[in-house]
Amino acid sequence: MKTMKVVHWALLTACPLVVGLEPQAAGFGAAERSSVLGALDQRATRFGDLSRQVWEWAEVGYKETNSSRLLASELRSAGFTVQENIGGMPTAFVASWGAGKPVIGLLGEYDALPGLSQADVPEKKPRVPGGSGQGCGHNLLGVASAAAAIVAKEFLSDHKLPGTVRYYGTPAEEGGDGKVYMARAGVFDDCDAVLSWHPDDQNRAELRSTLAMLGAKFRFHGRAAHAAMAPDKGRSALDGLMLTCQAVEMLREHVPSSARIHYIITQGGNAPNIVPEFAELYLYARHPEMLVLDGIWARVGKCAEAGALATDTRLEVEFISSDFNVLPNDALTRLLDRNLRQVGGVRYSEAERTFAETIRKTIATEHDRPLGSQEQIQTPEEGVTPGSTDVGDVSWLVPTGALGTATMVPGVPLHSWQATACAGSSIGRKGMMVAAKTLALTALDLLTDPKEIAAARASFDQRRAGREYRARIPADHKPPLNYRDR
């Protein structure tokens, strides 16, 4: 192995940042980079097995007991020190190895979605009827980040280099906001940069933002009575809820076109001949900017208050989620893009191509990416992707970079049975390893080259300049550990 030249962290102040230039050469050479990729290839089966186990468990937010325990155990066995029950969340943990600066974090998720149980076949076939499933591929997400953390740790250890590698086991990304509560606990405070990724149907280092989101459960309390014999004695909680929904539908005309409001009725009564004593509405509102969303959310609240007032029912609101829009980081995007291009995209075997062709017949593909695009690397672009994530809150606290890799067949949408099928298949595992390799190379670039850290910080400061971050979750609000209960 050739000798590696490392710029020591102490020399950072002697390395001025020149804004606008291409990223500097990585702090470790071609042979070392090749060895990192080889180490991941050698353990691809092991990491694939871990992702499959998490996929089979398919545990929803804050209930990921087995999944979080499995990942924490894997990291502990690799030499990491694990701190569990972060921020009062039993399935949140932080695994750390090393000492001193820089501190590089990798985000892991593992929660599943309700109602998306599916076998790893290209036809709709639930494994457990009505059960949960990994329709967002978080079984792949959590394992790839852990794989990258382990290999980065081994590289630092073998070369006796300073720095800290940290894996964040973050529960309940799907609406439960585990990262927001972890941030409140201070676990990101000393981080120099954080890396994240997400399953996708394409390969791209992300420069786009996301939608800020606020979510709550609106509970209406009325009075039960016989719906035919004594309707005047009752006060319908369902009526209060339905009036709220009608008011929200009217509100849609008077909010920015980039706003999104969607909801479900989780409880609406027990029998038609009983005036509903209790009803519950679970609602999300989204917009590209949190400050604008604040105003929309206040009006949603008035809709609910009006519904309760008109029906003489009592309104109770449980705040569930608050996701800031992601603050992109130009420097980290450039670095991730460079490494993603070195790793390359996803190539299918004949069997995988047959799977892909079959599953594409179950979705509308007229305007989607063609089969074969999973082998390509897309160019980062500005804009807003129409989704939300609690990674957004982390990105306002510490420089955060993100990418997506083709764990799904081109054209397959997230939060679908097709996505669950891909997440449990060899196609998903191949995309997962593309992410693991890209994250490992990028983490080691940051750990061995202070100029990369400085560039990430400069981008963060420029993007955030003059803009406020304040989590909308009240300081005394505890994690909604049972938010998936119905």
Instruction: Give me the CATH number covering residue 126.
Output: 3.40.630.10
Share the mean pLDDT of the chain: 93
How far apart, in whole angstroms, are the C-alpha atoms of residue 143 and residue 336? 18
- Average pLDDT of 140-160? 97
Q: Are residues 236 and 357 in the same domain?
A: no
205 in the same domain as 91: yes
CB 402 within 8 A of CB 327: no
Residues 221 and 263 in one domain: yes
- Percentage of the chain beyond pLDDT 70 is 94
Question: Domain for residue 216, yes or no?
Answer: yes
Q: Which of 275, 300, 323 delimits the end of a domain?
A: 323
Domain that holds residue 287: 212-323
Q: Is the pLDDT of residue 20 over 80?
A: no
pTM to 2 decimal places: 0.91
Residues 6+ apart with CB under 8 A from 211: 260, 286, 287, 288, 325, 384, 386, 387, 388
**pLDDT above 50: residue 171:** yes
**Which whole number is the average pLDDT over 164-171?**
98
Say whether both 186 and 65 belong to one domain: yes
Clarify whether residues 118 and 129 are in a common domain. yes
Mark whether 61 and 181 lie in a shared domain: yes
**pLDDT > 60? residue 4:** no
Residues 319 and 426 occupy one common structural domain? no
Poorest-pLDDT segment among 4-13, 28-37, 245-254, 400-409: 4-13
pLDDT of 5 higher than 60: no
Q: How confident is the model at residue 365 (pLDDT cuts 50, 70, 90)?
A: low
In DSSP terms, 193 is beta-bridged to 104
Same domain, 199 and 257: no
Cα separation, 433 vs 37, in Å, equals: 10
d(Cα 305, Cα 416) in Å, to the nearest integer?
34
Residue 73 has pLDDT above 60, yes or no: yes
Residue 2 maps to a domain: no
Average pLDDT over residues 153-175: 97
Note the pLDDT tens digit of each residue in 207-253.
999 999 999 999 999 999 999 999 999 999 999 999 999 999 999 99
Residue that finishes a domain, picked among 277, 302, 323: 323
Does the pLDDT at position 406 exceed 90?
Answer: yes
Residue 481 belongs to a domain: no
Whether the pLDDT of residue 287 is over 50: the answer is yes
Whether the per-residue pLDDT at 102 is higher than 60: the answer is yes
375 in a structural domain: yes
Q: Is residue 98 part of a domain?
A: yes
Looking at residue 263, which CATH number applies to its domain?
3.30.70.360
Please enumerate in sequence order all residues whose Cβ is within 8 A of that of 395, keeping only pairs 6 or more positions apart, or say none. 194, 324, 326, 327, 328, 329
The arithmetic mean of pLDDT across residues 148-175, rounded, is 97
Are residues 202 and 66 part of one domain? yes
- Number of structural domains (the chain) is 2
Do 129 and 256 fall into the same domain?
A: no
Which residue, chain included where needed, has tokens 């804004």? Answer: 19
pLDDT at 254 over 60: yes
Separation between Cα atoms, residue 46 and residue 189, nearest integer Å: 32
Q: Is residue 475 part of a domain?
A: no
Does 485 fall in a domain? Answer: no
With respect to residue 78, please indicate whether it lies within any of the assigned structural domains.
yes
* Same structural domain, 260 and 393: no
* pLDDT of 106: 98
Label the pairing between strands 212-221 and 278-287: antiparallel
**How far is C-alpha 413 from the chain's CA centre?**
15
Question: Is residue 114 domain-shared with residue 47, that is, in the same domain?
Answer: yes
- Assess whether pLDDT exceeds 70 at residue 17: no
Final residue in a domain of this structure, among 303, 323, 343: 323
